Amino acid sequence: MRSRRRALDELDEENLLRLVARGDRRAFDELYSRTSPWLAVRLRRRCADEQIVAEVMQETYLAVWRAAGAFAGSAVGGTAVGWLWTIAARRLVDAFRRRAHHAEPPVAAAERAAVPAAEDEVLAKAVGGDVGDALRQLAPELRQVLQAMVLDGLSVRETAVLLRLPEGTVKTRARRARIAMREALA
Amino acid sequence: MSAERAAHSSTSSHAASSHASMRLIDDYARGGTEMAADTVWALEAHLETCAICRGRLAASVATEAPGTAALVDSVRAALGPQLDTAVRMPSRRYRPSRLPAWTTSVTVPWLAMTVIVTVLALLLAAAGAPTAAGGVAPALLIAPVLPLCGVAAAWSRALDPAYELTASTPRAGLPLLLRRTTVVLAVVLPALLVEGWLTGAMTAAQWLLPSLAFTSTALALGSVVGVTRAAAGLAAAWCAVVAAPAWGAGRVPVVLRPDQLPLWGALLVLGTGAVIARRRAYSLL
């Protein structure tokens, strides 16, 4: 019992998901306690309505419990966490579809003038120094579209629901954002 | 600005770990809007791949964002009863997918049948059938046509439930047929080899070339009348014209004597040549 608990701590998310697929509730609890704060924070940054976030998280983890066996895993080059986010992002869009009028508009990130810390600079290299500059100089409404489509992996239609914009506007803004990024990086 | 940032990051990248700072994670957990967009972007991309930083974010949520922590707990509490009643999808791990996709569903039963026939011939020989029939091994009589049993099932409309799908794939036609035929030969020939070695009644030279010749002829005729029909016809003709009289007479049939081998070789070459010449004719099933 004791060694089993320690073994669960040492597993990565993919292996936990494999255990969940076999109906292991303790593996599910472990997966939940590891990933739910991350998912909650990430969802809350995209949706100010706490009720919708709670609903989306509940649906997401229920889907994980029911369909963990469908996760093809590292065999197709996907991570368990990425899979989780894909489910959550889709559920968020669905929740917006269901009751669009409840949702607050997504928070537009304000500009920040302070000099970033060294670690943040290193981290920003994941996006790239020049790319980071270009992203920051992008108009907020263009950046939102780019974030939803690139970082969150949503389609044009889903982005339109999430940002409550017409699809045509999303397409236009995505194109303008791409052009702006290209010019900034040229 | 960008040059300065690049220089800054290049100096710090040597020393620092590639994890996010605690202050940054705390800011992110609080959901503050004052973070720079590119930092948030990088952090979110990083969090998706880094279990350590997710753990630190979890700790940060517990201390810095009580609202989110409460949300996580309440979701977990509400989830409990739903998990008990949820109908779970069958796991993909337990779906039967042991056979490669290019085999037909009847491959295994038909090969098993072929092997069983081989074993039966062996048992027949062991049970003293040679004394009853005058010294000709039953295995030797059926060996040349035994691969045809498998070949008949390799490219058959009646025996392949998915034949319409099979016929529409790009790999359909001769390559697929040859692949399946190879599987049949890979199972049947060793079985016959073992049997010949056990009984000592037949040498590989006696049956190997005839069985290969029959296989290639069946494939060649198959381009005209269908592989199944060709295989069945050849096997029936063999049994009626050669095997049954030889069994009755108790002698090794003339066509299986070693001096007939050039004939079988010629048949093999002819069959193979016909298959190559008509390679386009196998796209129909």
Mean pLDDT of B167-174: 80
Q: Which of A97, A117, A75, A113 is nearest to A160 (CA)?
A: A97
**Spatial contact of B192 and B230, defined as CB atoms under 8 Å apart:** no
How confident is the model over B65-98, as pLDDT tens digits? Answer: 788 888 888 888 888 887 777 777 665 555 555 6
Q: What is the pLDDT of residue B235?
A: 92
**Spatial contact of B187 and B115, defined as CB atoms under 8 Å apart:** yes
What backbone torsions phi and psi does residue A77 show, to the nearest 5 degrees? 75, 25
Count of CB atoms situated within 10 Å of the CB of B258: 8
Chain A contact set for B44 (CB, 8 A): 42, 151
Q: Cβ of A78 under 8 Å from any chain B Cβ?
A: no
Q: Which of B143, B273, B150 is nearest to B208 (CA)?
A: B143
**Does B61 sit within 8 Å of A79, measured CB to CB?**
no
Q: Cβ of B97 under 8 Å from any chain A Cβ?
A: no
* pLDDT, mean of each 10-residue run, chain A (186 residues): 61 80 82 87 83 87 82 66 85 80 45 45 57 74 83 84 85 88 78
Q: What is the pLDDT of residue B232?
A: 92
| Six token digits for residue B148 | 């045809």
| Six token digits for residue B171 | 């790999």
Q: Cβ of B91 under 8 Å from any chain A Cβ?
A: yes
Of A37, A57, A135, the CB nearest to B57: A37
Window 117-176 of A: residues touching B by CB (8 A cutoff) are: 117-127, 129-133, 135-136, 138, 140, 143, 147, 151
Which one-letter DSSP state was computed for residue B94?
Answer: G
**Does B68 sit within 8 Å of A40, measured CB to CB?**
yes
**Does B65 sit within 8 Å of A131, measured CB to CB?**
no
Q: What is the pLDDT of residue A116?
A: 46
Mean pLDDT of B138-157: 83
CA distance A132 to chain B (A): 5
Handedness of CA B139, B145, B147, B149 (dihedral sign): negative
